[in-house]
Amino acid sequence: MQTIRSSKPLEAANTLDSLETLNTTLQAYLSADQSNLVKRAYYFAEQAHHGQFRRSGEPYVTHPLAVACILADMHMDHQSLMAAMLHDVIEDTGIDKTAIDGQFGHTVADLVDGVSKLTQIEFSSHAEKQAENFQKMALAMAKDIRVILVKLADRLHNMRTLGVLQPEKRRRIAKETLEMYAPIALRLGMNNVRIEFENLGFGAMHPMRAERISTALRNARGNRKELVEKIGQQIETCLLQEGHVAEVVGREKHLYSIYQKMKSKRKSFSEIMDIYAFRIIVDSVDSCYRVLGCIHSLYKPIPGEFKDYIAIPKANGYQSLHTVMMGMHGVPIEIQIRTREMEEMANNGIAAHWLYKSSDGPSINGSHTRARQWVQGLLEMQQRAGNSMEFIESVKIDLFPDEVYVFTPKGNILELPRGATAVDFAYSVHTDVGNSCVACRINRRLAPLSELLQSGQTVEILTAPGARPNPSWFNYAVTAKARTNIRHFLKHQRREDSVALGRRLLDKALSALDSGLEQLGKAPIQAYLDQTDYDNLDLLLEDIALGNRVALITAQQMLGDDGETAVGNKGAFKAHPVAIRGTEGFMVSYAKCCYPIPGDAVAGYISSERGMVVHREGCNNLAELRENTDRLVPLRWDEQVEGEFSVALRIELENRRGIIAVLATRINSMDVNIEKISSEDKDYQYSYVHLEMAVKNRVHLASIMKRIRSLKQVHRVNRIRH
């Protein structure tokens, strides 16, 4: 007890010191009224958190105070600092948003609510909880970008005080920080915050590795000191001789960056540290290019290593000239050249928008605009995502861009992640362009949609009315926007197909009972929907198509008949088979065990969540499924069947050199698409060739088989079931 009493005055003194430090910082850039509002928020938070302590034993209010100090160092506005003071009040005390609104206004209340976690809802897993919380924060960010800045400062202080937690919880928080918050800081251009996140996260995730690299770095720093100073002096002398006023700073890689490079490039620590890096800070953009020329006259530039991020800024607004040169003794030297505003922008990113708000500099406004565009993209992804887990995966994809810069036909520049294709480009132009994309031209030549884009290329997208996304695009689309929109379209299309199929199945079941959906009328249907807790008819029809409800039993229940009538009418239902047109979409598939094609006697089986699977009547698998008669659907082919259908053949032929090429040529001459071909030896004289190809119907298949049999080397052709 004595220890606790004696420590409290010390804790209070530390808190007072922090408050005084904050007050000094605020006086440098805020008005007296704004500073007083921030202090009022502090005293409100102190009272709200009274009696609460952190795991370290400090009063809880030290945490929001530290978060506010982090934001004050970035020169954030007074409303952000007030939100930082109050950010845990809703979550951890009995005070609600309305009370904060009454005390500090709508804006501050919305910021606090945006950062607060969802505490009233039970989640099935921690991952789902985190995903839902991030989704909530993304919605708040769309209204006010400062929400994420308060959250980043909150997470930064939590990472700084991570040592008091249990190892398992430390690793979980560190992993989440490295996967989500460090990339977000990078996306917003906040390099200082990102580096601290990565170093703290790395230390918590892999303490032994971090310690070993840190020790090696300290040793290397001493060994390299003389050479670094020599190179720095040469650069400074060269710049002075040419009349340039510039600051030359040696640049050192941070721990996590070194670890990532060692891991990804499979290089040793000494190989990574062979590169010497310097930053040159000048007073104007014009000076950046003049200094570049001066540096290139001092050392020989390495071809292909120059990047102009001033003319073409990175997606997060970062601007700088990058070049790599070969120095004395063959040592590679990396140089970054930028203005002071660009340096501030590189370190604080979007937070610099508030610092330079009055100057209205183009780079600062550009960063703020890009951040808002990214948040709007998040909002669009959130609206199209099926659930929070799907949304969080899309965000993670979007947070790791290594940019490629490509041009539209009109000369506009688009930034895409490395590995992007024309599909990603199409969706970045506009969702409708992506959805109706059919082909592309890269540098005026026709190219496949799957071709990887390179910086400097001009990409033109060819569209067609009625075109729609292809499921195969998922194999090479890399941007979150493209993948989210493709997934959304296919889900929507699947739902439309489900509803259409469910309507046909239910209508057929009702017609077997001398009724129909139109004859039944709205009132009985609505009464049935109310009774079965369906919000609308489409949801019921979708469930029927997915196999979650049986059409015949649903029809019986709608008509009010009992179970015996349902059984008695199954024969009647079988007398009214459903017509298959080949255009039903995702909800009708054709069994790969028997390959049904138009002209075959067929039956359908309603598979849960897969829709209807069409089998040939004599299929062995269908015989096993006949026990579950409720899910069997009598089918027939429509008179106007569209499309092509897979069929499998086994061809027995003589072993002759080039015979498979001859066979393939013969089939292709009939305008038939071969989907799969393989062969196996029967004996020394004969072989079997297994073919899968697309045909229109049995008549088409018969003509193909006749043409194959006309080859003298062919002995036998059979249609097979797998």
What does DSSP assign to residue 98?
H
Return d(Cα 131, Cα 125) in angstroms, integer. 10
Distance set, CA 474 to CA 117, 450, 538 (Å):
33, 10, 28
Distance set, CA 551 to CA 331, 386, 495, 496, 530 (Å):
76, 27, 17, 18, 18
Nearest residue to 320 via CA among 355, 278, 352, 361: 278
The DSSP element (H or E) to which 287 belongs, if any, is: helix 285-298
CA 623, 629, 633 angle in degrees (round to 5)?
85
Contact 142, 378 (CB under 8 A): yes
Contact 317, 309 (CB under 8 A): no
Residue 519 phi/psi, 5-degree rounding, is -70, -35
Return d(Cα 542, Cα 382) in angstroms, integer. 24
DSSP string, 177-216: IIIIIHHHHHHTT-HHHHHHHHHHHHHHH-HHHHHHHHHH
The DSSP element (H or E) to which 618 belongs, if any, is: none
671 is catalytic: no
CA 457, 461, 467 angle in degrees (round to 5)?
155
Distance set, CA 295 to CA 299, 330, 603, 635 (Å):
6, 16, 77, 78
Return d(Cα 591, Cα 598) in angstroms, integer. 13
Which of these is catalytic: 33, 77, 88, 92?
92
Contact 651, 708 (CB under 8 A): yes
| Beta carbons within 8 Å of 144's beta carbon, 6+ residues apart | 107, 110, 111, 114
Quick one: residue 629, left, alpha or beta (phi over 0 = left, psi -120 to 50 = alpha)? Answer: alpha
Return d(Cα 204, Cα 574) in angstroms, integer. 66
Which of these is catalytic: 11, 73, 91, 101?
91
Nearest residue to 589 via CA among 619, 607, 612: 612
Return d(Cα 302, Cα 310) in angstroms, integer. 20
The DSSP element (H or E) to which 569 belongs, if any, is: none
249 burial (CB, 10 Å; 0-12 / 13-18 / 19+) is middle
91 is catalytic: yes
Look-up of token digits 């004289």: 685
Using only C-alpha atoms, what is the Rg of the chain? Answer: 34
Nearest residue to 148 via CA among 417, 329, 313, 350: 350
Structure tokens at 121: 């809802």
Amino acid at 92: D
Structure tokens at 540: 């019921």
Residue 327 phi/psi, 5-degree rounding, is -90, -165
Return d(Cα 451, Cα 441) in angstroms, integer. 11
What does DSSP assign to residue 586?
G
Q: Classify the C-alpha dihedral 70-76-79-80 as positive or negative.
A: negative
Pairing label, strands 611-616, 588-590 = parallel
Pairing label, strands 602-607, 247-251 = unpaired
What is the longest distance spanned by two Cα atoms in the chain? Answer: 104
Q: Where are the alpha helices (DSSP H) in 532-599?
A: 537-546, 551-559, 563-568, 570-574
Q: Catalytic residues, which ones?
A: 91-92
